[in-house]
Amino acid sequence: MQTKFKHPMMAVAKDSISGFEGVIIARTAHLFGCAQYGLAPQELASDGTPKKTEYFDEARIEILDATNAVYGDDEYADIFAVPLGTEVKDKVSGFEGKVLMTVEYLHNCSQYYVEPPVDKDGKPREGQFYDEGRLAVIGEGIAPEEVAVPKRGSLFTRDQPTR
């Protein structure tokens, strides 16, 4: 189970698949082990509006320039006050659920994606994002280790036979 980010904020990076480039302005951690990075383009669209920040999995990120990178805490436990999987309640609306994703933004704002239990008919309900200060921990929820599965081998992770 991954517990730390690999890349720093403010580094200029590229998605190795699409070629999309931008500055890392956000880092997300998911309960199921995925880390993603928000890349904000460094130029405006042709109409003068900002281009949209796009998110990519950590394995796809290639650092192009770390000259202005901001190095700080990389361990999830040092960045986020509420651990992934924790059962929480929004202090304002009363909305309850489990934290499935955390987001660290460049200027120290942390948000949490909270997904509620299914409705009375057993249908999934839509989750919501909340700032850290709005959440109260109401239960242990589920630990990331409980949802982790062993990585299966693939052509890209096994040793290749030699001839």
**What integer pLDDT is reported at residue 9 of this predicted model?**
96
For residue 72 the two structure tokens come to 């700080």
Asked if 85 and 141 sit in the same domain, the reply is yes
Evaluate whether residue 38 is within a structural domain: yes
- Which whole-number Å values give the CA distances from 161 to 2, 63, 147, 152, 155, in the listed order? 29, 31, 33, 18, 11
Residue 98 lies in a domain: yes
Q: How many domains does the chain have?
A: 2
SS3 sequence of 49-101: CECCCEEEEHHHEEEEECCCCECCCCEHHHHCCCCCCCEEEECCCCCEEEEEE
Residue 2 lies in a domain: no
Establish if 71 belongs to a structural domain. no
The whole domain housing 119 covers: 81-147
What was the pLDDT predicted at 153?
A: 55
Q: Give the pLDDT confidence of 109-140 residue by residue, as tens digits.
A: 899 999 999 999 999 999 999 999 999 999 99
CATH of the domain at 140: 2.30.30.390
Per the structure block, which two tokens stand in for 97? Answer: 């659920």
Q: Are residues 90 and 140 in the same domain?
A: yes
Q: Determine the Cα–Cα distance for residues 90 and 97; give it in Å rounded to an integer.
A: 9
Residue 145 has pLDDT above 90, yes or no: no
pLDDT tens digits for 84-95?
999 999 999 999
Residue 142 structure tokens:
């589920």
Category of 3 on φ-ψ map: left (φ > 0), alpha (ψ -120 to 50) or beta? alpha
pLDDT score recorded for residue 17: 97
Specify whether 91 is located in the same domain as 141.
Answer: yes
Give domain status of residue 102, yes or no: yes
Strands 96-105 and 87-90: antiparallel
pLDDT tens, residue by residue, 35-79: 999 999 999 999 999 999 999 999 999 999 999 999 989 999 999
